[in-house]
Structure 1
Amino acid sequence: MFTCKRLLQQLVLGSLRKKCLKSYNINGYHLSKLKNLTTFSFRKKTESISFTDLQKNENDCDIFGTLSNKIEHNDKLDSLPPEPDDKIEYEKSEQKRRLYITEYHKIIQDFISQNKLSEAIDVLETRMLKDEKVRPDYYAFNLLISSCGRVGYVQKAFSLFNQMKKIGVKTTPATYTSLFNACSNSPYKDDALKRAKKLHNLMTLKCIEPNIFNYHAMIKAFGRTGDLLTAFSLVDEMVTKQYKLKDETFNFLLQACISDKKAGFRHCLLVWRKMISKHVRPSLYSYNLLLKCTRECGIGDEFETRKIIGQIVNDPHLLNQEKSYDEVNKQHLDYRNSSHHYTINNNNNEILIIDNRPNLLDRKPYFGNIVSINDIKNPADRLMLLGGCSGFLKNMKFNKVKPDIKIFTQLVEAIPSTLTAEQNLLLEISKSDIQLDIDFCNILIKKRSLRCDYEEAKNVLSLISSEDLSVDIVTFGVLALGCKNKFQAKDLIKSMVDHGFRVNAEILGTMLGQACYHYNFGYVIYTMNMIKHEEIKPNNIFMERLKSFDENIKSLMKKRENKDEKSLDFVHSYYFKEGYRKFQNFYKKWISEVNVEENLLPWDQFRKQK
């Protein structure tokens, strides 16, 4: 008995010659099917067919043809099981085809478009580098680094950058732009600033000449991480290298100003005046950033602010000319209550109204009727330096920039917190022919609720209905600011259910804040019960508010015992003590029964799950 494969090898190698072929016969089997036979025997039979009978050329023993045309013999061969060695012959044809590099790009892009960043990173780090031993190109790395940059995943962005250098992939200007963008969007500003400085130094050491996109990314990175000095120096460097400054350049500087909450508004004024001096027309985004800075940032040091305003209005003696509140009030009306200065025309004794508001946005800025720099403390005061609401909109019109609803949404937060100012703003919106959205209405409700004007806050719902808008979960969140007791809270939650919404930890946290402020123990317990009933995981803000409330009550009781303060007499009342006792008993049991929401790190969602 011989294996079929061994016989074929002998035939091919020529070890069996013509004599061998004549002496042995194969019992009616097709020679092309021999490879499918496990074993076969050499026997002499009368019905057997000789190899030589079927050869085209009797003298050539290496030519093989058809041994039999009988179908039944072929069927027998087909029914036999395959030989184990046969698998080796088919391995090459069955191997998986290696993908082209552009196909890997497509896979990565598809994951990124589906917001599956961890899967996209895994394609490069696991599939390409480890499993399939494929060397990624700069485009694959740039795709992932830019995606990490957009979400602020600065740690992974720089890790990919290091891998890129390690395997010898050439970096491009887009690589550095994406890395600086990652620093800009990082939730950890101190770490991001260190990385941005190292990257900037690396570019300097390698003599990499930044392009305009690199400069913009660097300005944004250093500005958002709080290094305003470097951000401004980069703009000076652009001017030195004769780069044309665009509105985009100044927008990044305005973003840098917003990062300085103490003195950002003062820096913002300088940036705006620089933009005007360079004859760069501000965009809609520029005005939105200016308003954001007005809302969120202070003026900083009073002396420095007065000095800068003096430079803006070209009045170096402003430091010595500022009058006290009493002096100015004798001559003019308070700039907060009126925007006009009244004078008498001696010729016909007519009273003329002269607009005397300050406006530092105009081509020829003027300081106007300012009482004192020291009195500029809130957004409404800072907006008044820009001409107030009407002056701000007038400047937009001068620069041919049409306001959008986002501008008015920010204005409603910056204007004085009075019903008159809000009504005037609504009138300006109607004049501008701009459609209101639910975000504007939510901010209006919040503003009115914060000044305890709850009735006017509820009236905004009629405005929402008249504008054919739909309430959202945020609407109920700001309405919760007006729920002073648990009965109002119950009505609001019922209204939420009717509109198809479910109460969440944030809304219950707002209600808890109102309950704690009014020392309403029944209301506090109600919000805690709702957490359990709705199977909601309370967030850290909710838990901290409860802890602070408990500590505050204990502190009040201790103060009342040590000092004879009449204002704290309510602490020793029966209802207060009984309410606090019930709260403490419930609190001890409740805290052991609820599951607190876990605090996930900002980057956990992008890491591969093990």
Structure 2
Amino acid sequence: MLRSTRMWGIFTRNTSVNVIKRASASSNERRSSVRPSERVHQEPLRLYSESVTLSPPRWTESNKTRSDASVSDRVNEEDSSDVFGDYSRSFSSRRTFRKTSSELLDMRYRDDEEDRPVVQKFRSKTGRKNTAYWYFLQCKKLIKEDKLGEALVLFETDMLKGERLQAEEYNYTVLIGGCGRVGYLKKAFQLYNKMKKRGIEPSDATYTALFNACAESPWKQSGLDQAIKLKQELLRKNIPLSAITWQALLKSVALAGDLKSCFQILREMLQNGHPITQETFHYLLISCANDKQHGFRLALQVWQQMLRIGIKPDTQNYTILLRIARDCGIGNPGLASALLLKRTEKVTPKLTSGRKSRQTNVKVGTLCQPLDMDAFENELFVDTHTQSHGQAEESDFTPLNTSQDDTQVLPVLSSASLTCQSQLPTQSSHLPNLLDPSTCSSGVVALGPVDSASDRLALIGNLDGFLEKMAEDGLEPNLKTITLLADVMEPGSQSMQSLINVATKSGVKLDVTFFNTIIRRVAKAGDLHGAKAVKALMVDRGLAANTQTFCSIALACRRQKDAIQLFTDMESCGLVPNAHVYSALISQACKRLDYAYLHELLLHMTKLQVPPNDVIIRQLEYAAQYPPSYDKLKSRNIYLDKIDGFRGFYRKWLEFMPGQEPPHPWAKYRSPKPETDQDGVTSQNQVSE
């Protein structure tokens, strides 16, 4: 046993000597290759590493006696000593272990702590740990104050990242609802997807808010596509929709202008047992408003069908009908006469569609007739249906006998005559009102020319007949109704006075928007003095003119001196012209080919540093082009002699005049994106979308 131990000690001693020699040789080689200036900096580091890596010595009596010897004596003893462990003890005792103090450690790690980023602990705004319901109330409050961006930051930064709370269904639903009201479609579905990833079950309110976001999106086609995808997802998961959610889906399809898809949604609502209400026809009328050519005829058909099934219109329905009368046409007059001039005794004609009609009874109040969806749809789309079968003759749709001697054409007031408006109360008493089919007599077989908004208003009773129908339904006009009436009536002092009397009788307080509408109607007719007279009347009633007021007056400023006077009046009111005011003035200058007028307007824009928008650029590009049929080598036009000079000035003006970029509709609701440093490090105090 002793022999084996001694032999193992000799093996250890020889091995240690060889290791020490090789380490010394390599160390000498490194020292010889290192410059003297670098050796000074490397030596302390090497000593410190050795003192750390070597194990502490075993303190024996022999070590105590050898500790006082010099380094040269220890090296000589290494060659002659045969004692077990002498080499390891000698090698380990070459370096001493130095103890350090807390002050030295503090100095050692002080630089590292200063370079390390300071992570501040999140502090709640209330000073205590809040709950998910508290954040729900705060987000709801911010959304009501039109601070959707702050509500999103509060939810994503403070609640989820700061306090690390578990979000509930109502936290996501209130934010999706806020995004839906402003049309923030992308963020609404981002929240919905995060909601599903967290395993939170959406509610009916969540789906309603998502469909509402699709409806209010600035890009209608994108909103319609997203609504269809969401509907397919719900059908695939067999999730039933409530009546309110179906109405939101119908709204998203109606605002996209797809009337045929509205009927498909309407059929599915009836199949699921959901009732048809005033809101349903409200969305059908909105869908009709997107058809600028036939919208007024479609809206009247929807209106008459609403009356047939016993649903009374509300104020919102009347308001939408006025907007359609202002913006949409009636289409083919012969087809419109055949479909609209029908007495109530006659049953709605069912056009052959190649399949059996299905009748659906709608349980809403007292019904006059059941709702036949097939007949209703075929009657609305009768023009496309007949064209597809090659039967587009107008005589096929005339429901009355035109060979009678007492037949007459329904007169429509001329839009160019202002004297007819004063005779309106005496004429409208016996004229039929298309809002009430019972007033259409058998002698009226066709409609007169319907070209303007005032002509379409005459078909629904003009001012008196329209208000009488509202009174029969127990409704009174509001401010929006009176403002739209001002936009469709013939411009004139009598029309304005009639509307003021109606507002006084109904207790409606008129605002600046009402007078601006009248000013725009008068200015479009070219009456600059009349527009200024309405502005003076508005000021006398204690209302201050705004930029929109002068923008409406600018539509009548056909000469350069009129524009200069307009700028002077705006300056006296403390207002600065914007791009809309200049656009109205440029349109008048372009119509008269007054290039001196255009030159002065561009100089004035440069002086006030008003950047042009895309509408102004299109107007100026049109003004800078020669007419297609103009050849200055063959003929001479005194109005086009100055076009070359304007073209040169316009090109130079574009070089130093900055353009106006339209703001993104979602820009004010987005959270700031994270800032990236040069090293690629993302700042922690920024929140990305």
Q: TM-score over 0.5 for the alignment?
A: yes
- Give me the whole-angstrom Cα distance separating, in 2, the residues matched to 1:371 and 1:449: 37
Q: Distance in 2 between matches of 1:592 and 1:339?
A: 51
Length, aligned pairs only = 504
- 1:471 matched residue in structure 2: 545
Quote the Cα distance in structure 1 between the aligned partners of 2:442 and 2:528: 36
Q: Which residue of 2 aligns with 1:393?
A: 467
One-letter amino acid of the structure 2 residue matched with residue 230 of structure 1:
S
Give the C-alpha shift of residue 457 in structure 1. Answer: 1.9
Seen in structure 2, the aligned counterparts of structure 1 residues 526 and 321 have a Cα distance that, compared at 3 Å, is: same
Q: How far off is 1:594 after superposition?
A: 0.9
In the other structure, the counterpart of 2:398 is 319
In 2, Cα distance between equivalents of 1:301 and 1:204:
40
Counterpart check, 1:231 vs 2:262: yes
- Report the AA paired with residue 249 of structure 1: T
Separation in structure 2 between the aligned mates of residue 290 and residue 140 of structure 1, nearest angstrom:
38
Is residue 2:586 matched to residue 1:512?
Answer: yes
| C-alpha distance in 2 between matches for 1:534 and 1:216 | 49
Q: In the alignment, does 2:672 pair up with 1:609? A: yes
Which residue in 2 is equivalent to 1:375?
449
Q: 1:456 aligns with which of 502, 515, 530?
A: 530
1:436 aligns with 2:517: no
1:248–1:320 CA distance, 2 compared to 1 (3 A): closer
Deviation at 1:390, TM superposition (A): 1.3
Q: 1:287 to 1:95 in 2, by over 3 A?
A: closer
Shift of 1:242: 4.4
- Distance across 1 between alignment mates of 2:251 and 2:544: 36
CA–CA distance in 2 between the matches of 1:462 and 1:104? 50
For residue 469 of structure 1, give the secondary structure of its aligned residue in structure 2: coil
Partner of 1:481: 555
Matches within 5 A, 1:517-596: 517-551=591-625, 553=626, 555=628, 557-558=630-631, 560-561=632-633, 569=636, 571=637, 573=638, 576-577=640-641, 579-596=642-659
Show the counterpart of 1:52.
Answer: none
| Partner in structure 1 of residue 292 of structure 2 | 261
Aligned counterpart in structure 2 of residue 149 of structure 1, from 180, 185, 191 = 180
* CA 1:516–1:535: 2 relative to 1, 3 Å: same
Q: Is the CA contact (8 Å cut-off) linking 1:149 and 1:157 kept in structure 2?
A: yes
How far does the alpha carbon of each residue in 1:402-428 deviate from its partner, in whole angstroms, 9 at most, with x for none?
112321211122224566555554554
- Cα distance, 1:454 vs structure 2: 2.1
In 2, distance between residues paired with 1:467 and 1:318? 52
Displacement of 1:101 in angstroms is 1.6
Residue from 271, 276, 293 that aligns with 2:302: 271
Q: CA offset at residue 502 of structure 1?
A: 1.1
Q: Which residues in structure 2 correspond to 1:199-218 (within 5 Å)?
A: 199-218=230-249
Change over 3 Å in CA distance of 1:369–1:556 after alignment to 2: farther
**TM-superposed deviation, 1:95:** 8.5
Cα offsets for 1:237-264 (capped at 9, x unmatched):
4445444443233223222222333322
Are the aligned partners of 1:335 and 1:369 in contact in 2 as well (CA < 8 Å)? Answer: no
Aligned match of 1:43: none
Q: How does 1:13-162 map to 2 (within 5 A)?
A: 99-129=130-160, 133-162=164-193
Q: Residues 95 and 280 from structure 1, CA distance in 2 versus in 1: closer, same or farther, beyond 3 angstroms?
A: closer
In structure 2, what residue type is equivalent to 1:457?
A
Question: Aligned-pair distance for 1:119?
Answer: 3.8
Matched residue, 1:51: none
Q: 1:292 aligns with which of 323, 331, 337?
A: 323
Aligned to 2:685: none
Does the CA-based 8 Å contact 2:400-2:445 persist in structure 1? no
1:190 is matched with 221
**CA distance in structure 2 between the aligned counterparts of 1:130 and 1:545, rounded to whole angstroms:** 50
Write the distance in 1 (CA, Å) between the matches of 2:143 and 2:482: 34
Counterpart code for 2:185: V
User: Residue type matched to 1:538 in 2?
Assistant: P
Question: What is the CA-CA distance between 1:587 and the residue it aligns to?
Answer: 1.5
In the superposition, relative to structure 1, how do residues 402 and 260 fare at CA in structure 2: closer, same or farther (>3 Å)?
Answer: same
Distance change >3 Å, CA 497–CA 312, structure 1 → 2: farther
Contact persistence 2:159–2:165 (CA under 8 A): yes
CA-CA distance at 1:192 after TM superposition: 0.9
Does structure 2 conserve the Cα–Cα contact (< 8 Å) formed by 1:263 and 1:299?
Answer: yes
Structure 1 position 214, deviation (Å): 0.7
User: What secondary structure, in the 3-state scheme, does the structure 2 residue paired with 1:359 have?
Assistant: coil
- Matching residue's letter, 1:210: L
Partner of 1:89 in structure 2?
Answer: none
Stretch moving more, 150-159 or 379-388: 379-388
**Do the aligned partners of 1:146 and 1:179 also contact (CA within 8 Å) in 2?**
yes
Alignment correspondent of 1:402:
476
Superposition deviation, residue 336 in structure 1: 1.9
- In 2, the alpha carbon distance for the partners of 1:331 and 1:373 equals 9
Read off the aligned partner of 2:602 and give its amino acid letter: M
What amino acid is aligned across from residue 538 of structure 2 in structure 1? I
Amino acid at match of 1:360: L
What CA distance in whole angstroms lies between the structure 2 residues aligned with 1:465 and 1:339? 26
| 3-state SS of paired residue (1:364) | helix
1:533-571: CA deviation from partner (whole Å, max 9, x where unpaired)? 1111111111111111001x364643x546x6xxxx4x2
Distance 1:384 1:354, change over 3 A: closer
Larger Rg: 2
- Name the SS of the counterpart of 1:214 in structure 2: helix
Contact map agreement 1:340 1:354 (CA 8 A) in 2: no
Is the Cα–Cα contact under 8 Å of residues 343 and 441 in structure 2 kept in the other structure? Answer: no
Q: Could you tell me the percent identity over the aligned residues?
A: 30
Q: 1:166 aligns with which of 184, 197, 220?
A: 197
Q: Given the superposition, is the C-alpha separation of residues 608 and 546 from structure 1 closer, same or farther in structure 2, using an over 3 Å criterion?
A: same
- TM-score, normalisation: structure 2: 0.66
Q: Which residue of 2 aligns with 1:53?
A: none
2:488 — aligned with what?
414
Contact 1:176/1:214, CA 8 A, preserved across alignment: yes
**Taking structure 1 as reference, are residues 235 and 597 closer, same or farther at Cα in structure 2, changes over 3 Å only?**
same
Distance 1:170 1:248 in 2: 28
Q: CA deviation at 1:314?
A: 5.0
> How far is the alpha carbon of 1:576 from its aligned partner?
4.6
The CA distance in 2 between the partners of 1:365 and 1:149, in whole Å, is 43
Counterpart Cα distance in 2 of 1:603 and 1:332: 52
Answering whether residue 180 of structure 2 is matched by residue 178 of structure 1, we say no
Measured against aligned partners, the alpha-carbon deviations of 1:344-370 in whole angstroms (never above 9, x if no partner) come to xxxxxxxx9894312122272426876
User: C-alpha separation between the residues in 2 aligned to 1:137 and 1:296?
Assistant: 45
Superposition deviation, residue 303 in structure 1: 5.9
Tell me how far 1:99 sits from its aligned partner: 3.7
How many angstroms does 1:606 deviate by?
2.4
The answer to whether the 8 Å contact 2:342/2:440 transfers is no
1:433 CA displacement: 5.3
Shift of 1:608: 2.4
Measured in 1, the distance between the counterparts of 2:435 and 2:245 equals 30
Offset from partner CA, 1:288-327 (integer Å, 9 cap, x none): 1111122122234556534432556555697064769xx9
Task: Give the match's secondary structure for 2:589.
Answer: helix
Unaligned runs of 5+ in 1: 1-37, 40-83, 85-93, 342-351
Q: Structure 1 CA distance, aligned partners of 2:263 and 2:170?
A: 32
Give the RMSD, CA atoms, in angstroms.
3.7
Question: What secondary structure is seen at the aligned counterpart in 2 of 1:375?
Answer: coil
Shift of 1:383: 1.9
Secondary structure of the 1:512 match is helix
8 Å contact 1:313–1:367 — kept in the other structure? no
In 2, are the aligned partners of 1:476 and 1:492 still within 8 Å (CA)? Answer: yes
Measure, in 2, the Cα distance between the counterparts of 1:388 and 1:556.
Answer: 43
Alpha-carbon distance, 1:178 to partner: 0.4
How far has the Cα of 1:432 moved from its partner?
A: 4.5
